[in-house]
Amino acid sequence: MQIDKTHTHVGMIRKNLRLLRWLAKSIQIKFLKGDKEKWINRDLKSTQAYWENRNDPNNKFLYDNLQKFQFNSLCEIGSNCGNKLYQMAKEFSQIKFTGIEINKVAVEFGKTRFRELGINNVQLFQGEASNLGRFADESFDVVFSWATLIYVPPDEIDIVLTEMIRIARKALILIEMHDGSLTNKKKIRGVLVPPGNWKRNYNLILQEKGIDSSLIHIEDVPQKVWNPGGGFAKIITIAPPDSKTLLNQITLNSTH
């Protein structure tokens, strides 16, 4: 009789483990699909909150890093309503600013706000980071993202980075979650950490794309500026020497 009870308990444990594995796989699949619906369908209230934050003093960290480059055009991937572009566009009317955002509500809200304020050097487009075909190669001097690629799943990160590199002329700046200890071929493209962010090894991914390691600079982002769930906040700057472009650098390296 005791043996039967033991077998029953073992069977229940195995059944529960199978259920847990199934649940874990279901959650993983959800994030592998990118959870795009969440961002596509975000409502006006969340967009308004981003706009109200347009004068966030922590944006100075971004501006200080952008000012290392002389640029006449800049593109943000994952721009929401353009809240991070606002201060720069207001101060530098001669520079062309562009934002790409998946949420139509955010794009239309931002367009309206900039128009009302008489700021005419910002263009916002609805679109996905994996499809920037509306822009020609080297369309912008600088391309950047801040806390956007943490939502891009591993099976899309290559095309997203390829597109960002393609449209950038002088520099690519990523303020994202980078973990240099990830060296496994699969894991370098993304490890999911709570509450649902992807950290990855951008250094190795970019080198695979033909970018020399000497052109990739990675530094910590102060926690007071940005402290994402899962940690590992870094600023990754990819910039070739003066007079060379990112695409040119990739072409040169791929021939070696």
Q: Do residue 175 and residue 109 come from a single domain?
A: yes
Cis ω for the linkage preceding 241 (within 30 of 0): no
pLDDT reading at 252 higher than 60: no
Q: Do residue 229 and residue 103 come from a single domain?
A: yes
Q: Are 97 and 89 in contact (CB under 8 A)?
A: yes
Predicted pLDDT at 34: 47
Q: Do residue 7 and residue 82 come from a single domain?
A: no
| Crossing angle of helices 154-167 and 246-254, rounded to 10° | 110
Predicted pLDDT at 192: 95
Nearest CA to 96 out of 60, 135, 59 is that of 135
Strands (E), the chain: 73-77, 96-101, 122-126, 140-146, 168-177, 191-193, 197-199, 216-220, 233-238
- For 66-107, how does the pLDDT look when each residue is reduced to its tens digit (9 = 90+)? 999 999 999 999 999 999 999 999 999 999 999 999 999 999
Mean pLDDT for 24-49 is 72
Q: Do residue 192 and residue 123 come from a single domain?
A: yes
Q: Do residue 11 and residue 131 come from a single domain?
A: no
- For 180-224, how does the pLDDT look when each residue is reduced to its tens digit (9 = 90+)? 999 999 899 999 999 999 999 999 999 999 999 999 999 999 999
Predicted pLDDT at 42: 87
CATH of the domain at 160: 3.40.50.150
The model's pTM is 0.86
pLDDT reading at 177 higher than 50: yes
Nearest CA to 238 out of 161, 180, 186 is that of 161
Predicted pLDDT at 70: 92
pLDDT over 70 percentage in the chain: 83
Q: Is 146 helix (H, G, I), strand (E, B) or coil?
A: strand
Q: Do residue 121 and residue 222 come from a single domain?
A: yes
Predicted pLDDT at 38: 82
Q: How far is CA 129 from CA 102, 107, 144, in A?
A: 8, 14, 11
Strands 216-220 and 233-238 come out as antiparallel
Distance between CA atoms of residues 130 and 160, nearest Å: 4
Strands 197-199 and 73-77 come out as unpaired
Q: Do residue 141 and residue 210 come from a single domain?
A: yes
pLDDT reading at 27 higher than 60: no
Q: Do residue 86 and residue 14 come from a single domain?
A: no
Quote the domain boundaries for residue 95: 35-254
Mean pLDDT for 39-56 is 93
- Mean pLDDT for all residues in the chain: 89
Burial 17-26 (b: 16+ CB within 10 A, else e): eeeeeeeeee
Predicted pLDDT at 247: 74
Q: Are 14 and 70 in contact (CB under 8 A)?
A: no
Structural domain count, the chain: 2
Q: Do residue 23 and residue 82 come from a single domain?
A: no
**Predicted confidence band of residue 115 (pLDDT cuts 50, 70, 90):** very high
Q: Do residue 77 and residue 169 come from a single domain?
A: yes
Predicted pLDDT at 18: 62
Predicted pLDDT at 46: 93
Q: Do residue 20 and residue 46 come from a single domain?
A: no
Sign of CA dihedral 83, 80, 85, 149: positive
Q: How many Å separate Cα 10 from the centre of its chain?
A: 45
Choose the weakest-confidence range: 33-37, 57-61, 69-73, 242-246: 33-37
Nearest CA to 74 out of 33, 39, 31, 123 is that of 123
Strands 233-238 and 122-126 come out as unpaired
Q: Do residue 144 and residue 235 come from a single domain?
A: yes
pLDDT reading at 25 higher than 80: no
Mean pLDDT for 233-253 is 79
Predicted pLDDT at 255: 44
**Predicted confidence band of residue 41 (pLDDT cuts 50, 70, 90):** confident
Q: How far is CA 199 from CA 75, 170, 246, 256, in A?
A: 23, 25, 24, 30
Distance between CA atoms of residues 64 and 217, nearest Å: 15
